[in-house]
Amino acid sequence: MKYINTLFAEPSFIRGAARVLDLGSTMDSYDISDNDLESDYEALMRL
């Protein structure tokens, strides 16, 4: 079984420092999909 980390952040020192200075939360990004079926399909295809 392989592990997939697409739903988790991969932190780095530069990104951490940038987030401290990002007062408007413009760096926030999440995995979004149009509906539940689409997100379920993508999750199953990643297995």
pLDDT given at position 2: 57
Averaged pLDDT for residues 20-43: 82
User: 30 versus 6: which is more confidently predicted?
Assistant: 30
Residue 39 in tokens: 């997100």
Query: Cα dist. 30→1, 7, 9, 14 in Å?
Result: 25, 8, 9, 19
Q: By CB neighbour count within 10 A (0-12 exposed, 13-18 middle, 19+ buried), where does 35 fall? A: exposed
User: 2 versus 27: which is more confidently predicted?
Assistant: 27
pLDDT given at position 25: 81
Averaged pLDDT for residues 27-33: 74
User: 6-29: per-residue pLDDT in tens?
Assistant: 666 677 898 888 888 988 888 777
pLDDT given at position 8: 64
